[in-house]
Structure 1
Amino acid sequence: MPNVASRGRGRRAMNEINMVPFIDVMLVLLIIFMVTAPLISPSTIELPSVGKANRPPDEKIEVLIGKDESIELRLDKITQRLTLAELPAAVLGAQSGKPAGSTAVVISADRSVRYDSVVQVLDRLQRQGVQRVGLAVQPSP
């Protein structure tokens, strides 16, 4: 029953909000979250291990990204320097004489190269329809 105040002639309901129940509920929720927070394990991402990687392909076209973010294309020990715009056409030309999907494209980048540069090369090759593009890794000792 609401609190009523007597003023002169009649009884009127008070217009004030009682904050005590609200604060009690908030404190109980805070305690519940504080107790359960350490029990929740953060999600983990299981990346593939280098030790479990498949063996490298027999025939490959290697795209080398140097420390200065220069791009080179290596075909049968012949290396040529290219720009990012010229790269997809050169790779597609190298793959054209062979059966579809038989020649893999491997991107090898220096450890100090920005991740963005490697992703740009990978994206440009995939958008132009180059098949079997992957990243080279160094096996763990």
Structure 2
Amino acid sequence: MRIGPSRKYMFNLESVAMTDIVLNMFIFFFISFSLIYTFNPTKAKHIKVNLPAAKHVADTQGKDEIVNITLSSEGPLYLEGNIVSLKELEAKLASSAKRNPSMAVVIEVDRLVAFKNVVRVLDVLNGLGIERLRIAAAQEEK
């Protein structure tokens, strides 16, 4: 004879509920990681540019305001890591030059970029009266 409860409790988790939980977790992580990647401030600094080498490379750290312009071999023109057109470049540099007339511009040009594209950027800088200009180069290996 049995004394006590005769019922056995079974833990049962429905597969539909488990699927909902996993799907919601997937959506949460997918959205959060895509937002982290989209608004990552260090991402802008990873533009691949194959700079030409030079023996005498100057260090520009610790100087006045420096604006970086990058011409990559893939085609786009970057101002401070953001893709811009030539007209946008001119407008943004004009406003920066009004705020700080002593600003310097560093141009990073990939080896494979056509020289006419470099001349277009130099023409914009010349038209704005920006005289402090440097062209970036990689240190030549000995």
TM-score (norm 2): 0.53
Question: 2:35: which partner in 1?
Answer: none
* Alignment partner of 1:68 is 2:74: yes
Question: 1:52: which partner in 2?
Answer: 56
Ranked by relative contact order (alpha carbons within 8 Å, sequence separation 6 or more), the top structure is 2
SS at match of 1:64: strand
8 Å Cα contact 2:106/2:134 also seen in 1: yes
Indicate the structure (1 or 2) with the bigger Cα radius of gyration: 1
8 Å Cα contact 1:122/1:133 also seen in 2: no
Superposed, 1:47-126 pairs within 5 Å as 50-56=54-60, 58=63, 59-74=65-80, 79-98=81-100, 100-101=101-102, 103-126=103-126
Higher helix fraction: Structure 1 or Structure 2?
Answer: 2
After superposition, the CA RMSD in angstroms is 2.0
Report Cα offsets for 1:50-80 as digits up to 9, x if no partner.
3334332533100011113211100xxxx32
Q: Give the aligned residue type for 2:54.
A: V
Name the % identity.
25
Q: CA deviation at 1:123?
A: 1.4
Taking the aligned partners of 1:80 and 1:112, their CA distance within structure 2 comes to 20
Taking the aligned partners of 1:89 and 1:104, their CA distance within structure 2 comes to 16
SS at match of 1:88: helix
SS at match of 2:139: coil
* Alignment partner of 1:139 is 2:123: no
SS at match of 2:134: strand
The aligned length equals: 87
Taking the aligned partners of 1:80 and 1:53, their CA distance within structure 2 comes to 25
Q: CA deviation at 1:118?
A: 0.9
